[in-house]
Amino acid sequence: MRRSRRQLALGGAVLAGLVLAAWALWPSTPAPVRPAPAARAATATAPAVPGEVAPVRLEALKASRDAPGEGARNPFRFQPKVVPPPPRPVVTAPLPEPVVALPPPGPPPLPPIPLKFTGLVERANGVKWAVLVDGKGGLMYGKDGDIVDGRYVIVKIGTESVEMTYADGRGRQVIRLTGQ
């Protein structure tokens, strides 16, 4: 397979970038190691010149140490945990429950008007007539203010909807033009 010069140049540039990034991130000198606090005290008399090694004091290794003594802390001694006394019960006087008188429920909502607005007829004198269909296949029509099906009043006829109420004036509803 032959590779184009562009692919080779791009690969070389990526490789050079990786080498440059590795070189920049590689530490030039090792990080200085801080001696432990006990070692710092022992090397306090040693010269602080870098590169020199402090002399080893062998006599300090042979010196006698204090015998371990009886301390107050014993990790192998088990004692029961002290249980705190229970909190005192808080006595409060019971509050009298307020008596709330609920209002009587209102009348149930009126069912929606079961008519479909299927068409609009406009006469030459500008009077609009709405064509309505009930779910049983009956065809009805009327103009503003007419009573339809003996139960509903046409309040207002628009271009895309008709506004109707029940004959007693309750339950105002907008029926959109469905065309079916």
Q: Which residue has the tokens 């030459």?
A: 124
Ramachandran category for residue 179: left, alpha or beta (phi over 0 → left; psi -120 to 50 → alpha) = left
| Cβ(110)–Cβ(165) below 8 Å | no
Per-residue pLDDT of the chain (180 residues; tens, 9 = 90+): 566 888 889 999 999 999 989 888 887 766 666 655 555 554 455 555 677 888 888 888 888 877 776 666 667 777 777 788 888 888 887 878 888 888 888 888 888 998 999 999 998 998 999 999 988 878 899 999 999 989 999 999 998 999 999 999 888 999 998 865
- Spell out the residues 6+ positions from residue 74 whose beta carbon is closer than 8 angstroms to its own: none
Q: Residue 25: enclosing H or E segment and its boundaries? A: helix 5-25
- CA angle at 55 for the pair 51 and 59, rounded to the nearest 5°: 165
DSSP one-letter string for 114-180? -EEEEEEEE-TTS-EEEEEEETTS-EEEE-TT-EETTTEEEEEE-SSEEEEEETTS---EEEEB---
